[in-house]
Structure 1
Amino acid sequence: MNIKRYGFPLAVAAAASLLLTSCAANESAASGSDSDSSLSGTLIGGGASSQQAAQEAWVAAFQEANPDVTVEYAPEGSGAGRENFMAGASSFAGSDAAFTSDEISSGEFASCAADSSIIEIPAYISPIAIVFNVDGIDSLNLDAATLAGIFSGEITTWNDEAITSQNPDADLPDQAITAVHRSDESGTTENFTDYLHAAAGDIWDSEASETWPYDGGEGAQGTSGVIDAVTNGTGTIGYADASRAGDLGTVAVGVGDEYVPYSAEAAAAIVDASPFAEGREDGDLAIELDRSSTEAGVYPIVLVSYLIACSEYEDAEAAELTKAYLSYVISDEGQAVSEEAAGTAPISSTLFDKASTAVEAIK
């Protein structure tokens, strides 16, 4: 694995200072890190609400370094963001899913120059933690089949042999399991169910879905609702953005012959271990996540969200601002700010190289 390392976390308030002083190798000059920035204008974007905290941090730091630029990001959801980008209402979009090849070939992108391709950068990588509340237990090892059994309702008590056999040193109680899921449409649910279907399809026969596909369990609204339900219940288990795990117990997920706890490095590693989608233009870095990977050190339950832009714009100002903003987002500083603000996994050096090439080609 070729993962970026940071000596200390960066607070959002310090990001502007770092932008002015850093000479990090991965930072493009187009990021606007020069205090004498000549950039000006308004950049419009919008889309995935999963990116909201990261976008707020990115925008604040970028605007501090570029005081004559205004960046507006509306966290209206991936679908709306994609539609507005295609309609020409925004210069870039955030999306929890890349465009399919069919959507690209049949669609029109009004902000882009005629015959322009699009770029899709997996710039936001967030591990999804399996959290639980069982008295006296802080961590558990669970493979995909066991997780599928728990969340589908087939495994109903904490001392079930499927759980105890993987955790021989844990004093698991004869207590009912309450599996908590999102009651609203959710990209987190879609990614979690995609993992369960890919890694334990003989048990989890439902395809990936933004809505919870099985009866039973306890539904909760939003990430906060899931965390509250698990925290305030007994014998509860749920799934949520890893940045919200807090003091709850967490699961190390079975991968091959090992159990891998969530971490920034392991989340970034599953992206590097997965192939790019076939048949794409240069700069379109859509990932086919290999949720069933057995490669050492990967954490397969992640949400990967994209920044989508034109390779070539009709409007020169939109091109300049988009190129500068995306250059900052994928830089060391941008990724560190996102990690601090939203608990994301910084992209690896391998992915940065590909993303940087794509962004530098914007014109």
Structure 2
Amino acid sequence: MNIKRFGRPAVVAVAAAIALTSCAANEGATSPAAEPSEETSTLSGTLNAAGASSQGAAQEAWVASFQTANPDVTINYDPSGSGAGRETFIAGGAAFAGSDSYLKDEELAGEFAMCVPGTSAVDLPVYISPIAVIFNVEGVDELNLDADTLAKIFKGDITVWNDPAIAALNADAKLPATNITAVHRSDDSGTTKNFADYLNQVAPSVWTEKPADAFPFQTGEGAQGTSGVVDAVTNGVGTIGYADASRAGDLGVAKIKVGDEFVAYTAEAAAAVVDGSPLVEGRADNDLAIALDRKTTDPTHYPLVLVSYAIVCTEYADAEQGELVKNYVGFMASEEGQTEAAASAGAAPLSSELQAKVAEVVASIK
């Protein structure tokens, strides 16, 4: 996989959910793609993008750096959620989508309004992050959960914190008789799909529903976006939820069982799972959707992970938009862009091999 670096264009804004454009002013850039050279940047225009809220902190850093190096470019990113982002991109309201789940087969079979008719879109991994199981339970600082127990909590089969199944995994914890409030995403979310995919693969006898962007059960409490889940867990009593690890803050974070050990998330453990996973079969050679190995028993891996993609046209009907996407997404996936995402959001950088694969595809965007 050979990686190349490119400048950075902009993303789609649908609402004005985050006015990232103002963040750009005084932040330095260090990569060849980003740093101002003796020649003034010739890139100009506005890129609007929408999608995964998990990418929010990373997008703020990427936008700031890119716009500093390219002052005539405006980038807007609306963290409306993966499902909404894909819909916006498909309809032509965004130059690319951020999505924590790759395009569905039925989406790939359709038309993309921003793309040249007869061409398609591809999934490019740009952001890797653990999904944290966050909790707020009085008197409980540490929590161990296996996949079966976690699935039963979110399915509504386990309803109190001192349930024998939880107690058996946490012999030293003083678990209260408090009711469990399991908080899930109310919007279509790639984080939900990744969470459900993990449970469906590792605890299939409990989590029998096929993974999807929509939460499948009429249980618990729904909240809009990553911030909504974090707020609900923070402000509730006896709460548990799932969210991009960059947003866990001071909340308790459960360890999950991998093999015979309970494992806390780390960026390195998340990256290890991705590096050990194959690409999804049956896709175009330039589509880099990853089939994550959720069933690993290697305790150096953290299988509850999401890969967030930039979904882009292979050929844009508007060549100027294509050039901006090529530069900006190329920057996001570059060594510098990945370093910035790690610093700002705790993301796991793409491996050099995966960076190279993404750069090769980015270079072919028209």
> Considering the TM-score relative to the shorter chain, is it more than 0.5?
yes
Q: SS at the partner of 1:40?
A: coil
1:312 pairs, out of 299, 303, 315, with 315
Cα offsets for 1:139-190 (capped at 9, x unmatched): 222110111122223333434343333333x233352341321362241333
Match of 1:341 among 344, 350, 356: 344
Residues 295-323 of structure 1 show CA distances to partners (whole Å, capped at 9, x for unaligned) of 34222223322112233344443333222
Residue of structure 2 equivalent to 1:146: 149
Residue 269 of structure 2 corresponds to residue 260 of structure 1: no
The residue aligned with 1:17 is 28
Measured against aligned partners, the alpha-carbon deviations of 1:263-295 in whole angstroms (never above 9, x if no partner) come to 212222222222211122232101122323323
Structure 2 Cα separation of the partners of residues 221 and 102 of structure 1: 25
Whole-Å separation in 2 of the counterparts to 1:131 and 1:80: 24
Tell me the distance in 1 between the aligned counterparts of 2:209 and 2:236: 27
Distance 1:34-1:137 versus aligned 2 partners, 3 A rule: same
Unmatched 5+ stretches in structure 1? 1-11, 23-28
User: Which residue number in structure 1 is paired with residue 69 of structure 2?
Assistant: 65
Q: Answer with 79-88 or 127-136: which moved more.
A: 79-88
| Alignment partner, residue 288 of structure 2 | 285
Contact in 2 for aligned 1:190/1:211 (Cα 8 Å): yes
- Give 1:302's aligned residue: 305
Number of positions where the alignment pairs a residue of Structure 1 with one of Structure 2? 341
Cα distance in structure 1, aligned partners of 2:69 and 2:272: 31
- The farther-off stretch of 234-243 and 284-293 is 234-243
Matched, 1:100 2:111: no
Amino acid of the structure 2 residue aligned with 1:60: A
Q: CA deviation at 1:48?
A: 0.6
Report if the CA contact (8 A) 2:25-2:68 is conserved: no
The alignment status of 1:82 with 2:82, answered yes or no, reads no
Partners of 1:266 and 1:297 within 8 A in 2: yes
How far did residue 67 of structure 1 move? 1.5
AA matched with 1:46: A
Corresponding position of 1:178: 180
Judge conservation of contact 1:39–1:69 (CA < 8 Å) in 2.
no
One-letter code aligned to 1:204: W
Cα 1:100/1:207, change in 2 over 3 Å: closer
**Residue in structure 2 matching 1:54, options 49, 54, 58:** 58
Tell me: CA distance 1:210–1:341, structure 2 relative to 1, closer, same or farther (3 Å): same
TM-score (norm 2): 0.81
Q: Alignment RMSD, CA only?
A: 2.9
Q: Deviation per CA, 1:6-41: give whole Å up to 9, x if none.
A: xxxxxx87984232xx4xxxxxx5x34343243322
Match of 2:48 in 1: 45
Q: In the TM superposition, what is the alpha-carbon distance from 1:88 to its structure 2 partner?
A: 4.6
Corresponding residue of 1:131: 134
TM-score by length of 1: 0.82
Quote how far apart the aligned CAs of 1:355 are.
Answer: 1.1
The DSSP-based 3-state class of the residue aligned with 1:17 is: coil
Structure 2 unaligned regions, length at least 5: 1-22
Residues 143-222 of structure 1 aligned to structure 2 (within 5 Å): 143-168=146-171, 170-182=172-184, 184-187=186-189, 188-222=191-225
How far apart are 1:219 and its partner, in Å?
4.0
Distance 1:189 1:284 in 2: 22
Distance 1:43 1:232, change over 3 A: closer
Residue type of the partner of 2:261?
Answer: E
**SS at the partner of 2:249?**
coil
SS of 1:46 mapped into structure 2: strand
1:242 to partner: Cα distance: 1.7
